[in-house]
Chains A and B, each alone.
Chain A
Amino acid sequence: MPVDPSFAGRTYPPTEPYDVGREKIREFANALGDDNPAYHDRDAARALGHPDVIAPPTFPVLLTFGATRRLVEDPELGIDYSRVVHGEQRFAHARPVRAGDSLTVTVSLETVRSAGGHDMLTSRSDIATVEGEHVATAWSMIVVRGDAS
Chain B
Amino acid sequence: MSSPAPARPALEDVAVGTELPPQTFTVRRADLVRYAGASGDFNLIHWNERVARSVGLPDVIAHGMFTMALAVRVVTDWAGDPGRVVEYGVRFTRPVPVPDDEVGATVEVSGVVAAVLEDGRVRVDLTATSQGQ
Contact = CB atoms under 8 A, between A and B. Distances in A.
Interface of A: 27-28, 30-39, 44, 47-50, 54, 56-58, 61-62, 65, 82, 85-93, 95-96, 139
B68 A62 contact: no
B2 A91 contact: no
- Residue from B39, B80, B83, B88 having most chain A Cβ neighbours under 10 A: B83
A56 B91 contact: no
Given A57-B72, A87-B91, A31 B35 contact: yes
A131 to B, nearest CB: 20
Contact of A62 (B4, B40, B86, B90): B40
A96 B39 contact: no
Contact of A56 (B2, B40, B76, B87): B76
Contacts of A56: 69, 72, 76, 82
Given A44-B4, A86-B64, A31 B34 contact: yes
Nearest to A36: B2
Contact of A54 (B37, B77, B82): B82
Contacts of A30: 34, 38
B82 A91 contact: no
Contacts of A95: 83
Given A34-B73, A91-B87, 6 more contacts: A31-B37, A31-B38, A37-B2, A48-B81, A88-B92, A90-B90
Interface residues of A: mostly helix, strand, loop or mixed? mixed
Contacts of B100: none
B41 interface: yes
Interface of B: 2, 4-6, 25, 31, 34-35, 37-41, 55, 64-66, 68-70, 72-73, 76-77, 80-83, 85-92
A62 B69 CA distance: 12
B73 to A, nearest CB: 6
A39 B85 CA distance: 14
A32 B35 CA distance: 7
A90 B40 contact: no
Given A56-B82, A57-B82, A28 B38 contact: yes
A92 B69 contact: no
A93 B85 contact: yes
A89 B69 contact: no
B61 to A, nearest CB: 11
Given A61-B65, A92-B86, A36 B41 contact: no
Contacts of B69: 32, 56-58
A62 B39 contact: yes
